[in-house]
Amino acid sequence: RKEVEQDPGPFNVPEGATVAFNCTYSNSASQSFFWYRQDCRKEPKLLMSVYSSGNEDGRFTAQLNRASQYISLLIRDSKLSDSATYLCVVNSKKTSYDKVIFGPGTSLSVIP
Amino acid sequence: NAGVTQTPKFQVLKTGQSMTLQCAQDMNHNSMYWYRQDPGMGLRLIYYSASEGTTDKGEVPNGYNVSRLNKREFSLRLESAAPSQTSVYFCASTDQSNSNQPQHFGDGTRLSIL
């Protein structure tokens, strides 16, 4: 089983739709979690951190379920500019360094 | 504040040639990383450096060497380039002292090996 798994998609949704992505991780000792977005042929950029109590940033809501070891990202009122690949990132401390695992990404296309 | 800077942005090599990809960060981060990303694929860790003076292998280290020259700079060297190393290479850094800190990426080096 891969350490971090995501549904690759693609998710094709109309403008204004709500879309949700899930991510599962295998290491129960994982400590911190993030969502990144990556535009075609560009570097990954931090979208938001994911906190235990859940957090919201505008149209984006992230949730963490430690018991079930999954993270979710909800995008409301989708915009054309939301089209990108969304990467789930899980960070575990291992001895003296951080072990950072990137998921394979979920592709989103928002259609006019 | 430049963040993470990678050079060059593009490079074409012939099989067997060598080259060094440069990365520098100005955020005083302890940890630095080199990833490769092949078309339609996720990021794969090549090497990382938890702190100045230390380097460790990641998932796909074969064919590469690294140098953590100082706290700011972390270079990746291809000694004898092969077509299988055609990829986009990303450097990243983070503040290791706090595991809740995300990684910051450079804008990548697009490398083609003929």
Using DSSP, state whether B8 is helix, strand or coil. coil
A32 to chain B, any CB pair closer than 8 A? The answer is: yes
Return d(Cα B40, Cα B44) in angstroms, integer: 12
Residues of B within 8 A of A98 (CB-CB) are 31, 50, 94, 96, 99
A48 to chain B, any CB pair closer than 8 A? The answer is: no
Residues of A within 8 A of B23 (CB-CB) are none
Burial of B72 (0-12, 13-18, 19+ CB in 10 A): middle
Residue contact B43–A102, C-beta within 8 A: yes
Return d(Cα B114, Cα A39) in angstroms, integer: 26
A22 near A71, Cβ under 8 Å? yes
Tell me the average pLDDT across A74-101. Answer: 85
Residue-level pLDDT at B99: 62
Residue-level pLDDT at A3: 85
Residues of B within 8 A of A41 (CB-CB) are 88, 110
Residue in A49, A91, A102 closest to B42 by CB: A102
Collect the ranges in chain B with pLDDT lower than 70: 1, 96-99
Residue contact B31–A98, C-beta within 8 A: yes
A2-45 pLDDT per residue, tens: 789 998 889 999 999 999 999 999 888 888 899 999 998 899 99
Residue-level pLDDT at A97: 56
Tell me the average pLDDT across A45-51. Answer: 94
Residue-level pLDDT at A94: 60
A53-75 pLDDT per residue, tens: 889 999 999 999 999 999 999 99
Return d(Cα B43, Cα B35) in angstroms, integer: 6
The torsion of the CA quartet A102, A103, A104, A109, rounded to 10 degrees, works out to -110
